[in-house]
Chain A
């Protein structure tokens, strides 16, 4: 019979035995060796029925299809653009995946130039190395002005909050426009720098205290001051 060796939400290190027996299945960040399930990453244990997986606590962003991310144009090729979205490898934005019509002989820099910050959606990921992105989505657009804040990708769900409660609260109080990318890049644009600064401080605070409970209440109090 299988036996689980760790508890839910335990911090485990690479090489730690999480469970033994064939009753459990290895998920993300877990591998099987003979009968044992072993952690291959530093992370939090998450058990869902028979599936044992790890929520990574650090490291680069792992691209997932359907995520909305913010990236920077780093290269332009014949077929489109290469963008840095914080993953190990650059993502590819093909001409046919853009929202605008682009003619055959068009100069691609007129659409997205080097260094442009663009909000994009991940279309397809092959073996977590080749990342195909698109701008054919409502949220996708070029981001002009404002500031970028980088946080740990694993803390993004806390910044967004349940059903977007946290981010909409920050938007309400600071009056800034905010876009949160799943890759941990947050774009903030407000009418004046003071408000942008407040939004940045709040987001940094959320990142720092992400593991605490009752975070929304605490941030509410912080914003009142």
Chain B
């Protein structure tokens, strides 16, 4: 049976409600919250500051470090807190997707630490984390070429969907494609693929993400401007 109607009544190219807020962590140099429906991510940025141990310092370029974790109560079954295989991986892909926009050559010998915490999870946490982290980096006043908009696309029963939730993620044989896009140029800074997909479906997913990334960008812009009103 084909997937003709989404469980929560959304259209196939419709995202959950998104919301951004800047300045949520008082002690951080920059911080932000980003929401995809029930998925809530908080990002805090510390730095740029001197990098220690000293041998890791690079006089030509600064360093970006990302840490991702889910808070133990963010999912139905308690998540054991602390880094694990999955968190390490997502921290790494967050770092890789944010590095292209940061002008790290302006911060030699320094490090920028980004901490992403998932407060509430309902699929698409890495995308919410990347959106929040890019807001927090802008809030910290860093040199950036652009913001980063991320959203997950998916293929369920041959249908391409945008911003999948937990129920859709758990469908047997579904494909999960988290994508991060630089909104001004449309360049892709993260593309992961979990499952099977054919050429047409992947193309359609990329087109859809490009379309909705404008909405995410507007929400991010609004959040940043609101703080200084």
Contacts and interface: CB of A to CB of B under 8 A. Distances in A.
Contact of B141 (A17, A42, A89): A42
Chain A, interface size: which category? 20 to 34
A186 B184 CA distance: 40
Considering residues A31, A59, A90, which has the most beta carbons from chain B within 10 angstroms of its beta carbon?
Answer: A59
Q: Tell me what chain B mostly uses at the interface: helix, strand, loop, or mixed.
A: loop
A13 B141 contact: no
Interface stretch (B35-43, B105-113, B114-122, B155-163): B105-113
A58 B141 contact: yes
Interface string A24-65: 000001010000001011100000000000001111100000
Contacts, number: 73
A89 B48 CA distance: 9
B228 A41 contact: no
B225 A60 contact: no
A194 B101 CA distance: 48
A5 interface: no
A15 B182 contact: yes
B103 interface: yes
B145 A38 contact: yes
B89 interface: no
Contacts of A129: 108-109
Nearest to A154: B141
A13 B109 contact: no
Contact of B110 (A11, A56, A57, A89): A89
Tell me which of A11, A15, A57, A89 has the highest count of chain B C-beta atoms within 10 A of its own C-beta. A15
B65 to A, nearest CB: 16
B30 interface: yes
A126 to B, nearest CB: 11
B29 interface: yes
B138 A40 contact: no
A42 B50 CA distance: 23
Contacts of A11: 224-225, 228-229
B141 A56 contact: yes
A31 B101 CA distance: 13
Contact of B221 (A13, A59, A60): A13
A14 B108 contact: no
A173 interface: no
Contacts of B106: 128
Contacts of A14: 101, 138, 144-147
Contact of A15 (B49, B184, B229): B184
A62 B155 CA distance: 48
A130 B49 CA distance: 14
Contact of B30 (A38, A40, A58, A211): A58
A58 B139 contact: yes
A219 to B, nearest CB: 21
Interface of A: 11, 13-17, 29, 31, 38, 40-42, 56-60, 88-90, 128-129, 211
Which 5 A-B pairs give the minimum distances between C-beta atoms? A59-B141, A15-B146, A14-B144, A58-B141, A11-B225
Interface of B: 29-30, 48-50, 101, 103, 106-110, 138-147, 182-184, 220-221, 224-225, 228-229
25 contacts: A11-B228, A11-B229, A13-B138, A13-B147, A14-B144, A15-B145, A15-B182, A15-B183, A16-B184, A38-B184, A40-B144, A41-B138, A41-B142, A41-B143, A41-B144, A42-B139, A42-B224, A56-B141, A58-B140, A59-B30, A59-B141, A60-B48, A60-B141, A88-B49, A89-B110
